[in-house]
Each structure stands twice: as C-alpha cells, then as structure tokens.
A and B are shown apart, each in its own frame.
Chain A
Amino acid sequence: MKAQRDVWGQTLVDLARTDSRVAVVDGDLATSTKADLFADAFPDRFFEIGIAEQNMVGVAFGLSTLGFRPWLSTFGVFLTHRALDPIRMLVSQTGAPVKIAASYSGLLNGSSGKTHQDIEDLAIMRAMPGMTVIAPADAIEAEAAIRWAADHDGPVYLRLARDAVSDIFSPGHAFTPGTVHVLREGNDALLVSTGVQSSRVMDAAALLAEEGIEARVVHVPCLKPVDEAALLSALSGPAPIFTIEEHSIIGGLGGLVSELVTSTTLGKTVTRLGLADAWSESAPNSYLLDKYGLSPARVAGQVRHALADD
C-alpha cells in the first residue's frame, strides 16, 4: 500500500531511463508531488517553472512540439482551474502529447481546505474533446496508467491522490483506456466508483455484506474514453445504481453514468453520492470523508438507507 504520489516520481524516473522524451515541468511543488525524485535523477529534463501554472502549460506545449512528452506536475487544482485556458487551447485543441499529473486531487489534501480541494476536475476535463481522463484506484493502477500515458500520443489528465489507500489491484496490472472493472459481484446494489474512492467503496461493500446486502462494485478508472457497452452491461440487472466519487455530484462519474443510462432504455434511477454542490473545508481526512458521506461506513449507510426506502 503506497500513496499514488509516491509511485509518481519513481515511475517517471524508471521511464526516463529508456525514453528520452520524458520530461517534467514543475510548479514549485516538487517536494509535495514527489517530482523531486525526477529532479534529482534527471536535472536536465526537469524544468522548474516556479509558481506560474499558465506559463507551465505553455512551456510544456512548446516542449511537446519538438518531440518531448512533458508531464505537468503540481497541485491539480492549479492546473484544471488557473491554467484551464492554456490547457484548452494549446493542449486539448492541438492534441499535444502533454500529460497533466494532477497531484493532491479531490478532497484529501492535508487540511489545505477548499482553495486547494479539486472537486470539479473530472467534470471540467471530461468536457474537453480529445482529453483522456484517468482516475486510478490505487498506487498500482496509477503506475500502470502513467506507463500507458507516457506511450500515448495525445493529452492525458491523470488524477492522483495525496494519501495511500488499500490496494485494489495486484502488481503487474496493466492499464487499458476505457476498461471497466467489476471488482465484486452482487445483486442487491450497484456501486459505481472511480479513483481512490473505489478502495473505500470496496470496504463499504464488505460492511454491507455483513448485513446480508450483496453489492456489485464497478470501478471506472477511465472516465474518457469509456467502454460504454461494458459499463452498461455492468449496470444491468434490477439492482439500483449508486455513483460514489470524491468529487462534485455534478458532471463527474455521476454525470457520466447518468448520461449513459438516460441515453439507453435501461430505465434505471441513478443516485449520485459525492460533494452535493457545496464547497468543503480544512479538516483531517477522516472528518471530511465522514462529513461528505465518503467513508466506508457512510457509503454503506446511505446505500442501506436507500434500499430500505425502496
């Protein structure tokens, strides 16, 4: 069990040994994101731009036009919000092979509070034509996604969490864009999740099982592109659908699943769990997970409650 940020720098160092295109463009946060490992190993391909996120994106784009595959590395919030226009025009609209490593994503960022919590990134990035949007479940899937992205000739958004969660996948796991993973079978409820929240949802499913409620857990690591047929088949059956994400309930995974379900004749209700159109706050992780209904116990409680109401 490692944190995604811990495998981030190390994986890039590994890749850079054999791939001269790999470069890192940092925004003065290499000690937090762990990109400092890369800075030490490959100082010539580590570009410290300072506290200037829009500038970082422009520089990364420029590097990419001469064969580099640069990784933008800073807190995700300052890329998806501060630097959104350059990402939109220079990266998404050109299809440049710039990789956006969004560190400290979601709610849990070491008590920094709402200014640093990025709970809208999936909605924003999903809306970008041509952007691959990945939210890995654990450090193993993060590493696999980094390796895949390094080889992909186009823009990639990678949502990385600060703190470790229990592993879902086993070492050697490979990432394939679009794939949907059914992590657990069950016919009483369908729990769809993404990112590190999937690990907490697995724990929630275990709690529900203790009460005799068997939930199918569907992990969607790639919000774009997504294998729609595979996701629809994972969502079929009579059980009600819940989407659970460390993100706003608007436009992220809940948006994706709702869009998909309403464009078919599946005719099922989707209950979206996550940040209900509200800004959060500074607090320890356990407090935030509990308050915003994302801890295993709270997820299980909400599912149990909804099933009882049916």
Chain B
Amino acid sequence: MSRTQATKTGTAELQRLAAAGRWHVIKTVADAKAGHIGGPLSAMDLLVSLYFNELSVDPGNPQDPARDRFILSKGHCAIGLYSVLALRGYFPVEELATFDQGGSRLQGHPDMKLTPGVDSSSGSLGQGLSAGAGMAMAAKQLGTDFHTWVMLGDGELEEGMVWEAVHTARRFKLDNLTAVIDLNGLQQYGWPVSEDDDRFDRSNPWSGVDLSGVFTCFGWNVISIDGHDFDAIHDAFDRVREQRGSGKPTVILAKTTKGKGVSFTEGTYKWHNGIATPEQLASAAAELGQVFEGEAK
C-alpha cells in the first residue's frame, strides 16, 4: 500500500487553524487551572502543519495499521496536541473542556489508551524517540511504509535516553523516522542568562553548542528551519520524504519562540506553564481572534 498524502492545506488556512489551536490551549488551561502554555504555543505551527499537511492519518480510523505515527515526546505539551487533534476531527472541540478533569480522555499528559489519535503515552521526558525508533524498526521488519514522527523539546534533549535513541536510529538505518525538535530556547527553569545570549530572560540550553553538527556527527540528516514559517516547514517535510531510502534518520531543527502568538507569553520561561487571568484571556482572544475570527470569545 502506498502512502497517501494528506490533502494540501493552504497557508492562510494553516494560520487560521494555528490561531484557533493557540486559543484552545490558553483557554483550556485557564479553565482547568492547570497545564502548560509556552511549549504548546511554540509547537503549534509545526503540529498544525503535520496534521493538516503531512501525516497520512484518518481521524475516523485512528488505529489504522498503515497510518503514519506521531509521538509527542514532550508530553507536557499535551493540550497543544489535543487542540490539533480536535481541529482535525478526532473528537469534538467541546471535549477539550474536560482536560485534566476526573474521568476525561484528555489527561494532563498523553495517554495512548484513552485518546484517539495518540500513538504513544508520554510525560516523562526523553522517552519518545526510543518509542519512535521501535515503531520505525517494526515498520521496516514488517515491510510497511508508514513514517514515524517524534516531536521533542530542546530542554528534553538533555535527557541521556534521547541520545541512546539517536544512536539506535542511525544503527538501524531508520530513514522512516524523523525527529522534530522544537528549539524554543527555553525550558522550565534552566540557567541564568549568560553573556553569549541576550534574547531571553534565561539562557538558551544549547547556546554555544552546534546541535546541527552534533546530529550530523551521529550520522543523521539535518534540516534547520524557522518553525513558524509554513513554507519552510513544508519544504522540510518534502525533503524528509526525499530522504527515505537514504538509510539515515532525519532531524528537523525548528527554531521557534516559546509562547508564540500571544504577546504576553512570548519569549519568557515564566509562561512555561500558567493560568491566564480573565484580562489576559481577553487580550489573547483579541490577538488570536483577528486571525481565526469569531471563535475566541
């Protein structure tokens, strides 16, 4: 069976979806009084691009064995994934309101046994790339040609297990595996700002490190992009497809802004998690609502 591409979605529509997704993140977390903001917002353009333009998946048949796999290794960004899954039709957008409440299918961290569309549980950082490697290895062994995508955070890359998986993926020639790294330059606490880093109120965890070089040394294909530029994202996805057969796994190093899309959450570690006040919600609604109309009330 050959891979069916998702129908191409235009940039304006992607922008609208991403704004809607961002609104659902900030609103749902405020209502639940628990959850993460910065990471879901930085990843939103990538998530929307994956689900609306790349992944071969069928929301009506979430367990289709031939589907592409997606693992949100940075599981604390679950609400970002749930928002996109809802927009894509896996479950009603209204269900987002149950996030973090007792009995909900939408747990604080992704649960593959509960949420349609979630291919692997996560929450303890650093484990998703190994899970993805296993799926990619099984696909090769079984002769199925789905592609496995894993999204990681840049802070998450500090976990040793990530690098064990980086080694495994090369060793097993997993050109059907792609890691997307959300390089938003911030984690939860991290380190104080150093001289070589003037952009954030905390230091970029990888400042002074040539991450692209590191992955290259490990034998991976490396694609570096702006993770908020939809055209660049799609070019990267095209190149991933071209690399299948190369015997090398690919990493997309996506430079992003933590908290992207809402002025008061952008570029600060203080909105790693947080609960927006009614005034902040109103200002986020105004800002995002200009892009996706109506829905933000």
Contact = CB atoms under 8 A, between A and B. Distances in A.
Interface residues of A, number: 33
A302 interface: no
B34 A51 contact: no
A131 to B, nearest CB: 22
B230 to A, nearest CB: 29
Contact of A28 (B33, B34, B35, B189): B189
B246 interface: no
A38 to B, nearest CB: 12
B190 A28 contact: yes
For the residues of B in contact with A, the DSSP-based class is loop
Nearest to B270: A31
A65 interface: no
A28 B155 contact: yes
Interface stretch (A106-114, A145-153, A178-186): A106-114
B126 interface: yes
A75 B75 CA distance: 15
B102 interface: yes
Interface in A25-76: 26, 28-32, 36, 43, 48-52, 54-55
B189 A78 contact: no
A287 interface: yes
B187 A28 contact: yes
B190 A113 contact: no
Nearest to B106: A282
A124 to B, nearest CB: 15
A304 interface: no
A238 interface: no
Given A55-B160, A112-B123, A48 B189 contact: yes
Contacts of B123: 112-113, 115-116
A260 interface: no
A116 B155 contact: no
A177 B25 CA distance: 46
Contact of A111 (B100, B122, B192): B100
A85 B107 CA distance: 29
Contact of B188 (A28, A281, A284): A28
A48 B202 CA distance: 12
A31 B189 contact: yes
Nearest to A290: B102
25 contacts: A28-B158, A28-B188, A31-B188, A32-B188, A48-B189, A48-B191, A50-B158, A50-B187, A50-B190, A51-B125, A51-B155, A51-B156, A51-B159, A52-B160, A55-B160, A77-B124, A110-B34, A113-B108, A115-B109, A116-B123, A282-B101, A282-B107, A282-B109, A283-B104, A287-B102
Chain A to chain B: the 8 pairs with minimum beta-carbon distance, closest first = A115-B123, A283-B102, A282-B108, A50-B158, A113-B108, A111-B34, A287-B102, A111-B100
Interface of B: 32-35, 75, 100-104, 107-109, 111, 121-126, 155-156, 158-160, 187-192, 205
